[in-house]
Amino acid sequence: MPGLERGLLPLALLCLRLAQRAPSAAVSASAGVDTAEPAVDLTEDWGPYRPWVEPLALLSSGRRAEARAALRALPEPPRDLLYEADCCLGARAPAALGDRAALSRAQARLAPAVGELAGAGSGLLTLGPVDAWLAPPQVANRLTHL
């Protein structure tokens, strides 16, 4: 499976940090930095997972315009054992950025996995229950105020 050789360790560590936090769209108004996002070091070798991590990294450093561009460039996640994990990562940035179209696409991808643990099929990592990534209350509240 691609991604076992490169990128798995930083991805697994990021997933641990994200799974410990509820998906959130809390943004610090004063600094324009998403305080809910853990710092992501793009100099690490993310391997094939970089496209799904890059919007989060840019968002966590307050580079919202670049995060939007990276989000728009996201490819369709590969249909492998980490599909749901990639989809959850792909849902986090649009939720924080208020991008309804991107969030709807991510939610549509995740809908068939309701009741499952994101990434757990791989036995390598998890982002927690898929259900928590479909419509977290913080996201719904943020999107209704756009």
What are the pLDDT digits (tens) for 75-134?
Answer: 999 999 999 999 999 998 998 898 999 999 999 999 999 999 999 889 999 999 999 888
Q: With the C-alpha atoms ordered 10, 16, 20, 23, is the resulting torsion angle positive or negative? A: positive
Domain encompassing residue 93 = 8-144
Q: How far is C-alpha 113 from the chain's CA centre?
A: 16
pLDDT at 36: 59
**Arithmetic mean of pLDDT, 46-57:** 95
Task: Classify residue 1: in a domain, yes or no.
Answer: no
pLDDT at residue 3 tops 80: no
Q: Average pLDDT of 134-145? A: 50
- Answer yes or no: is 131 within a domain: yes
Return the pLDDT at 133: 86
Percent share of the chain, pLDDT over 90: 61
Residue whose token pair is 């709807």: 104
Total number of domains in the chain: 1
Task: Tell me whether residue 2 is in a domain.
Answer: no
Amino acid 59: pLDDT: 92
Q: Which phi and psi angles does 117 have, rounded to 5°?
A: -95, 125
Tell me whether residue 3 is in a domain.
no
C-alpha to C-alpha distances, 127 to 33, 77, 120, nearest whole angstrom? 22, 16, 8
- Under DSSP, is residue 129 helix (H, G, I), strand (E, B) or coil? strand
Give the model's pLDDT for residue 34: 43
Residue 84 pLDDT:
93
The continuous run of DSSP H or E covering 139 comes out as helix 137-144
What is the pTM (predicted TM-score) of this model? 0.80
Residue 89: per-residue pLDDT: 92
The amino acid occupying position 10 is: P
Of residues 135 and 63, which shows the higher confidence score? Answer: 63
Higher pLDDT, 91 or 23: 91
The verdict on residue 16 lying in a domain is yes
Q: Is 120 a domain residue?
A: yes
Q: Looking at the domain assignment, is residue 92 inside a domain?
A: yes
Q: Is residue 26 part of a domain?
A: yes
